[in-house]
Amino acid sequence: MGSEVTHRYFDAEDFSRFRELLDSETELLRDQIDKGALSPRGDVAGFELEAWLIDPHGNPWPHNQEFLDTLDNGLVVPELARFNIELNGSPSTLSGRVFTRLYDELHATWSDCRKTAAKLNCGLVTIGTLPTAQPDVFDGSNMSEMIRYQSLNDRVIALRDGQHLQIDIEGGDGHESLNLVHHDVMLEAAATSFQIHLQCRPEFAVRDFNASLITSAPLVAVAANAPLLFGHNLWDESRIPLFEQSVSVGPRNLPRVTFGNDYVHESLFELFEENRRDHLILIPMVQDAPPERFAHLRFQNGTLWRWVRPLLGFDFDGQLHLRIEQRVPSAGPTLKDCVANAAFYYGMVAGLRLQDPLEDQLSFSDARENFYNAARYGLNARVRWGEGEVSMRNLITNDLLPLAIRGLESLDIPGGEISEYLDIVGARADNAQNGAGWQRRWLQSNDATLNDLVLAYQTQQESHLPVHAWPI
Write down the domain spans for the chain: 12-467
Are residues 381 and 280 in contact, defined by beta-carbon separation less than 8 angstroms? Answer: no
- Bridge partners, 44 (sequence order): 93, 199
pLDDT at 9: 84
Those residues whose C-beta lies under 8 Å from the C-beta of residue 259, and which sit 6 or more positions away, are: 213, 216, 306, 307, 308, 368, 371, 372
Are residues 347 and 412 in contact, defined by beta-carbon separation less than 8 angstroms? Answer: no
CA 206, CA 357: separation in Å to the nearest integer? 10
CA distance readout (Å), 319 to 36, 303, 314, 316, 416: 12, 24, 5, 7, 34
pLDDT at 2: 60
CA 333, CA 461: separation in Å to the nearest integer? 6
3-class DSSP state of 86 = strand
H-helix segments, 238-333: 239-246, 269-278, 295-302
Question: Nearest-CA neighbor of 46 among 198, 174, 183, 178?
Answer: 198
Q: Determine if the pTM surpasses 0.95.
A: yes
Are residues 189 and 288 in contact, defined by beta-carbon separation less than 8 angstroms? Answer: no
CA 281, CA 362: separation in Å to the nearest integer? 33
Cβ atoms < 10 Å from Cβ of 356: 8
DSSP state of 81: B
Torsion over CA: 196, 202, 205, 208 (sign): negative
CATH number of 12-467: 3.30.590.20
Q: Which amino acid is at 20?
A: E
The beta-strand segments (E) located in 65-223 are 76-78, 84-88, 92-93, 123-125, 165-169, 178-182, 194-200
DSSP state of 93: E
Are residues 340 and 219 in contact, defined by beta-carbon separation less than 8 angstroms? Answer: no
CA 268, CA 196: separation in Å to the nearest integer? 18
The beta-strand segments (E) located in 89-145 are 92-93, 123-125
Question: Nearest-CA neighbor of 114 among 76, 57, 143?
Answer: 76
Which helix (H) or strand (E) is 320 found in, with range?
strand 320-326
Which helix (H) or strand (E) is 50 found in, with range?
strand 44-54
Are residues 125 and 52 in contact, defined by beta-carbon separation less than 8 angstroms? Answer: yes
Length of the chain counted residue by residue: 472
3-class DSSP state of 90 = coil
Question: Nearest-CA neighbor of 228 among 131, 331, 333, 126?
Answer: 131
CA 76, CA 110: separation in Å to the nearest integer? 9
Q: What is the pLDDT along the chain (472 residues), one digit of tens a residue?
A: 567 788 888 999 999 999 999 999 999 999 999 999 999 999 999 999 999 999 999 999 999 999 999 999 999 999 999 999 999 999 999 999 999 999 999 999 999 999 999 999 999 999 999 999 999 999 989 998 888 889 999 999 999 999 999 999 998 677 899 999 999 999 999 999 999 999 999 999 999 999 999 999 999 999 999 999 999 999 999 999 999 999 999 888 999 999 999 999 999 999 999 999 999 999 999 999 999 999 999 999 999 999 999 999 999 999 999 999 999 999 999 999 999 999 999 999 999 999 999 999 999 999 999 999 999 999 999 999 988 999 999 999 999 999 999 999 999 999 999 999 999 999 999 999 999 999 999 999 999 999 999 999 999 999 999 999 999 9
Question: Nearest-CA neighbor of 113 among 82, 144, 84, 80?
Answer: 84
Long-range contacts of 29-38 (CB under 8 A, 24+ apart): 29/269, 29/272, 29/294, 29/297, 29/312, 30/269, 30/273, 32/320, 33/202, 33/267, 33/268, 33/269, 36/202, 37/320, 38/202, 38/319, 38/320, 38/321, 38/322
